[in-house]
Amino acid sequence: MVPVSTRRHLPEAPYLAAATGRKPAQIPVWFMRQAGRSLPEYRALRAKNTMMQACFDPELICEITLQPIRRHGVDAAILFSDIVVPLRGAGVDVDIVPDVGPVIASPVRTAADVAAIRALDPQRVAAVGEAVGLLVDALGEVPLIGFAGAPFTLASYLVEGGPSKNHERTKAMMLADPTTWHSLMETLAGVTLEFLRVQLDAGVDAIQLFDSWAGTLSLADYRTHVLPHSARVFAALADYGVPMTHFGVGTAELLGAMGQAGASVVGVDWRTSLADAAARVEPGKALQGNLDPVVLLAGWPVVEQAARAVVDDGRRAVDAGAAGHIFNLGHGVLPATDPGVLTDLVALVHSL
């Protein structure tokens, strides 16, 4: 563990201030998938490398992570990686197929399949730690967010064998075979935990846990079958003393429970107002979000109006008990987004 006393000290970083309940000098803004297909410089690099190759090349990880910092002037960098990278480190045969997403060669369907998943070998993801070291040196006063996929979202890819609309096999295992399900979730919580430890030990300033598919669950099923495993991850990492964010899509009914998992920041998608989210999440948590990514395709007058509304909503959320507001999208930047709109959006939010 990197001791708190030897971590980067960035007292003026607006992102870290808002995430820890302090008053930032400006409204902090960063974007999920800010390093990605909306940037021509990213596409030029990816034309020469597969996604998995890029995720295991420290210099490429560093360069891609830095691209939106240079272009947009956002208040935080997020490590370029993919949520299935730690599965590779646990011996799972997974690839990221263009225009499809993660594909698992041998889906996990039985107790024996679960038993075959190994613990994460940190050496197999050493490139990620090396990239973090490069980034900490390169970013100056800009904080670096590490991330991982939450156990439920990883489980969904493993059980379905790839992306799924209804997650039917996953939910069927969860409901019909809870013993195998909880064994799988315990294993994946360990994988997630160790992957985040690699990043934290290398020096990331904050972490975000993506539970991308948790919104497919009822609140009761989330509390019984998912929450304990996500909470284990946050509890094990609390001693690092860094801001921790919990984010999912379509999670309006789950926001209170997700806040109870132990993160200091709760991400909100565009379907729920920040003020409503503040009423659902216990006081003292910061909120992150929540401009609809599609708004960025609707022309600048629409973007400006919607962004101002999000900022106003964030202020109402703080008045209602939220510890702070970090401006973000309600999900990732869409590939068709004009990078110039993102740059202008950052400048607008900072001016407010």
Active site residue 46: yes
Q: Which residue has the tokens 């889906």?
A: 107
Which of 15, 42, 46, 71 does the annotation list as catalytic?
A: 46
Which of 15, 42, 157, 240 does the annotation list as catalytic?
A: 157
Q: Comparing C-alpha atoms, which of 184, 182, 198 is closest to residue 115?
A: 184
Which of 75, 82, 205, 313 does the annotation list as catalytic?
A: 82
Q: How far apart are CA 213 and CA 163, in angstroms?
A: 10
Which of 33, 71, 88, 232 does the annotation list as catalytic?
A: 33
Q: How far apart are CA 273 and CA 309, in angstroms?
A: 10
Q: Comparing C-alpha atoms, which of 273, 276, 350, 352 is closest to residue 320?
A: 276
Active site residue 70: no
Task: Find residue 248's DSSP bridge partners.
Answer: 211
User: What DSSP state is assigned to residue 27?
Assistant: -
Decide: 141 and 13 in contact? Cβ < 8 Å: yes
Q: Comparing C-alpha atoms, which of 154, 155, 236, 247 is closest to residue 200?
A: 236
Long-range contacts of 244-247 (CB under 8 A, 24+ apart): 244/206, 244/207, 244/208, 244/209, 245/19, 245/145, 245/206, 245/207, 245/208, 245/209, 245/288, 246/150, 246/208, 246/209, 246/211, 247/32, 247/208, 247/209, 247/210, 247/211, 247/288
What radius of gyration do the chain's Cα atoms show? 19
Q: Which residue has the tokens 């360069």?
A: 63
Task: Find residue 265's DSSP bridge partners.
Answer: 245, 286
Whole-number Cα distances in Å, 282 to 21, 255, 259, 285, 317 = 14, 9, 7, 7, 12
Which of 37, 109, 124, 271 does the annotation list as catalytic?
A: 37
Decide: 349 and 47 in contact? Cβ < 8 Å: no
Burial of 315 (0-12, 13-18, 19+ CB in 10 A): middle
Active site residue 121: no
| Residues tagged active-site | 33, 37, 46, 82, 157
